Structure 1
Amino acid sequence: MDHNRDMSLFKQVKNDDNNAFRRLFQKYFPPLYIFAKKFLEEEAAKDIVQECFFNLWKNRKKIELTTSLSAYLFVIIKNSCCRQLKELNEKNCRTDGFLLNLKEEECQYYIQSEKSILEFDIRDRAIQVLNKLPDNCHRVFCESRFNGLSNKEIAEKYNISVKGVEKHISKALKLFKEEFRDIINF
């Protein structure tokens, strides 16, 4: 999946691989630039994104990702754009008011965009965990969590013991805990 490829590339970047960094740059510069242009003029947007990649390379050894690389980069760009807009506003350098007075609904749109990126990352990781589960474990866990069946109902449906159902659910939950330990304290 894309998340795994990105994490693999980022590990290579952390090990000083210029080609891996170039691939990440080529993949993410266009969408990050388009996103930054929603806040800033073209040159400023370009500068912000280039600075993001410069800092990514400079700090590559120190960065520990707790979410997807995509979400991490978009949050950095959003924060950098907001910081620059705040500085411009404080200095009163802009008289035309371009994007300094973002409407409430525009602000909410960008907040929702960031939230959507993070939700997509979590959903993607959850699907990966489900796909790692053995068939019986996957089936039992889905019946329990998504279809709302009790352990007894699942046991009867699949002709296994209630203890067997509990073991499958425990195994699935253990895998979820391992995958999400970086963002959730169980």
Structure 2
Amino acid sequence: MKKENILSNRYHEIYLQYVPMLLRFAEKFVSSFFAEDIVHDTFLKIWDKQVFMLPENEVKNILFTSVRNSCIDHLRRMSLEHEIIDKRALQLKLDELNFFNQAEDLFMKKDLMEYIMSKVCELPEKRQEIFRLSYIEGMKAVEIAEKLNLSVRTVENQLYRTLLHLRKTLSSSFIYLFIFF
């Protein structure tokens, strides 16, 4: 029992003697909140390893070295966390910009499609149907010819005339955008 009291008293003396100095030292590098944690963790380590039983100058060196190393570890961890957070924030911004561009493209394409379809509605009914089957449903001239009971040449001719009409009524850039959707 007596030995445990001696150890406990020695530990308590070292704790009271060095905590204020170690806190000031750690606070030069990290916030006071983290400095307290670092210093208290250091004292837990020296209790487990019975370092406080060494000569005082060695105890002092071990305490300051341990606090210094813990501050370095903390700063490295914080730096890594900030780097990860910065990368995530940057990626979120890039994703948001990409989404905005895609949404803008979608709205532009939708407006363009509506405008083109309004011009297609000006065509005769049979040409409208051939155009929709070809460019909206993606059917080939042969399939359209079979479906509408027309010759392939007639379907191709009607599509050609429709594109000529659209080229005249729309700017050429619109028609190319529409064809390559």
TM-score range, shorter chain: 0.3 to 0.5
Give the helix-richer structure, 1 or 2.
Answer: 2
Q: Which has the higher contact order (CA 8 A, sep 6+)?
A: 1
TM-score w.r.t. the length of structure 2 is: 0.40
Bigger Rg, which one:
2
TM-score w.r.t. the length of structure 1 is: 0.39
